[in-house]
Each structure stands twice: as structure tokens, then as C-alpha cells.
Amino acid sequence: MAKVISAIDTNAAGRVVLLIAGGALAAIVVNYLADRFTDLIVLKEVPESKWVVFRRRARVKGLSYAVGQAFCALFLKGVARLSRARVRQVYAQYGLSSGWPTNVDLRKIDSVNSETCRRLLRELKPDVVAVYGTRIISEDTLRAVDVPFINYHAGITPEYRGQHPAYWALVNDDPDRVGVTIHLVDEGVDTGGVLYQAPVSFTPSDNITTYQYVQMASALPLFVRSIEDALARQITTREFETYSRHWYPPTLVQYFFNGAVRSVW
């Protein structure tokens, strides 16, 4: 069960720009932040195409691995459909909102790494930039404004960077590293200084398609707290002397092996 950590519901002063790529989880983030920050502006990028993602994974992990990941992604769409009741339960249990709020200033951009995005950041003059679910942010964008960029990652860094980190921590029988991290953004993949972390546990009804909904309940109050810290100019990072690894989505063979052998689905 997610451990919900309360945040001060005070509409902290200062301009917050949120960078997102869309989807149900991003809508949850927008709703939660909109209830707590009166001066919130959302920049929504067009997600990378599946073909671009496939080619990058093939380059990094090899063609056969990328093909296996693609087949797994197709299979998990069916798993997600079968898990809709569990997702609705999580929404109700933690008071999450999925609809896009109509009172939020939403601007659409091609990419967080576009000149349009950088121009908007300079024009909007945010006090802090929050990030959820976008492509890797380039150095040029990070330098467009001299303010902290703060990201929510659905895993514990630095050991579990990348994608499906909670799933891989369970596969590795590492329950103490199943959780969420709020961190500063740098040019790496989930490598920035850690601001907050919290553990998360799941029910037997959860699986790889529902983990992030449960994790969101723990992450959002910490996300708010880190933004408030930035607005108050009181950011403190934490350093960890441990290994660092970037994880990728499982292939279909890995998914069935881990489910059959380790009971992690």
C-alpha cells in the first residue's frame, strides 16, 4: 500500500511551469499541482513516436531486444485493459483526478527540446520548472532559465533509473528499493540530485500496468514539497554511495519468465 505523505495545501507563491507529455498519469499530476499552485502553466509536448523509441532502443540494446520489448508493450495493452478496475480503485482510494482541468493555462509544444519551448520558458520566467513524463531534456533547455528543474521518477535512484523501476526492483527481490524519487534534472537519465524518496508497496491485485498509479499517491505530496522548497530557495539534495543502473522495459520473454519464476507480473 502506498504511504501517503501529507503536503501543505497553501497555494505557495511563485510561478510554476510544468513540462509533460500527456497521458492519464500526467493528467493526475496537472490536477494535483493546479489545486496547490495558483500560478501554474503547463507546457505539453508531443510524445516521441513509437518508431523513434524503437530505433533508439535497437541502437542501445540491440535489434532482438527492441523487438522483444515491442511485443511486450503490445501484450501489456491487454493487461492494462484487464486492470482497469484496479486503476479505478486506486483513483478512488487516494482521491486522484484524471480529467484535464479547464482552468489551467495549457500551451502545446512540439518538444521540450524545441526552440519554442525555450522561448516560452524565457518569456514565462518561472521560479521553478516541474517535469513529468517528458523525453530527456537537453542541456540547451535546462540552461534556458536559471531555475531548478525538478522531476518525479517512479523508482528509487540511483539504483533504479529508467523505465519500470518498481517492476525491476521486485524482480530483483529488492522490496526496500521499491518506491518513488523526486530529483533535480541534469543532462543524464534520472541522475540528478535526490530531493525526496519514499517507499511504496503493492497489493496482489497490482501488476506492471498499475504500479505507477499506486506510486503516484506517494509521489505527489513529495513533488509539491520539493516545488515549495524551490520557491522558498531551500533546496537540499541527498547523496548516496551505491551503484547506479539504467533499466529498460522487459521483453515478452523476460516478462513471462519473471512472472512464472518470480511471481512478478
Query: How far does Cα 120 stand from its chain's mean position?
Result: 22
Q: Find out whether 184 and 237 touch, Cβ atoms under 8 Å.
A: yes
Global pTM exceeds 0.75: yes
Q: List, in sequence order, the alpha helices (H) in 62-184.
A: 63-82, 84-94, 115-124, 139-142, 165-171
Cell numbers standing for residue 65 = 531486444
**Gap between the Cα atoms of 45 and 113, Å rounded:** 9
Can you give the pLDDT at residue 3?
Answer: 38
- Domain with residues 16-262, CATH architecture: 3-Layer(aba) Sandwich (3.40)
Can you give the pLDDT at residue 1?
Answer: 40
- The per-residue pLDDT string of the chain (265 residues; one tens digit each, 9 = 90 and over) reads 443 333 434 445 799 999 999 899 999 999 999 999 999 999 999 999 999 999 999 999 999 999 999 999 999 999 999 999 999 999 999 999 888 888 899 999 999 999 999 999 999 999 999 999 999 999 999 999 999 999 999 999 999 999 999 999 999 999 999 999 999 999 878 888 999 999 999 999 999 999 999 999 999 999 999 999 999 999 999 888 788 999 999 999 999 999 999 999 9
Cell numbers standing for residue 176 = 526496500
Query: How far does Cα 110 stand from its chain's mean position?
Result: 19
| Cell 509536448 sits on residue | 45
- Return contacts of 251-257, CB within 8 angstroms, 24+ apart: 251/65, 251/68, 251/69, 251/71, 251/72, 252/68, 252/71, 252/72, 252/75, 253/68, 254/68, 254/72, 255/72, 255/75, 255/76, 255/208
> Could you tell me which residues come within 8 angstroms of residue 96 by beta carbon, excluding any fewer than 6 positions away?
28, 31, 32, 90, 213, 216, 217
CA-based Rg of the chain, rounded to a whole angstrom?
Answer: 18
Q: Find out whether 265 and 211 touch, Cβ atoms under 8 Å.
A: no
Instruction: Give CA separation, 265 vs 153, 205, 250, in Å.
Output: 20, 10, 11
Dihedral Cα 135, 45, 88, 255, nearest 10 deg: -30
E-strand ranges in the chain read: 16-20, 40-45, 105-109, 128-132, 149-153, 161-162, 179-184, 194-199, 246-247
Can you give the pLDDT at residue 10?
Answer: 43
Can you give the pLDDT at residue 12?
Answer: 59
Can you give the pLDDT at residue 2?
Answer: 41
**Gap between the Cα atoms of 90 and 210, Å rounded:** 9
Return the bridge partners of 179, or none. 199
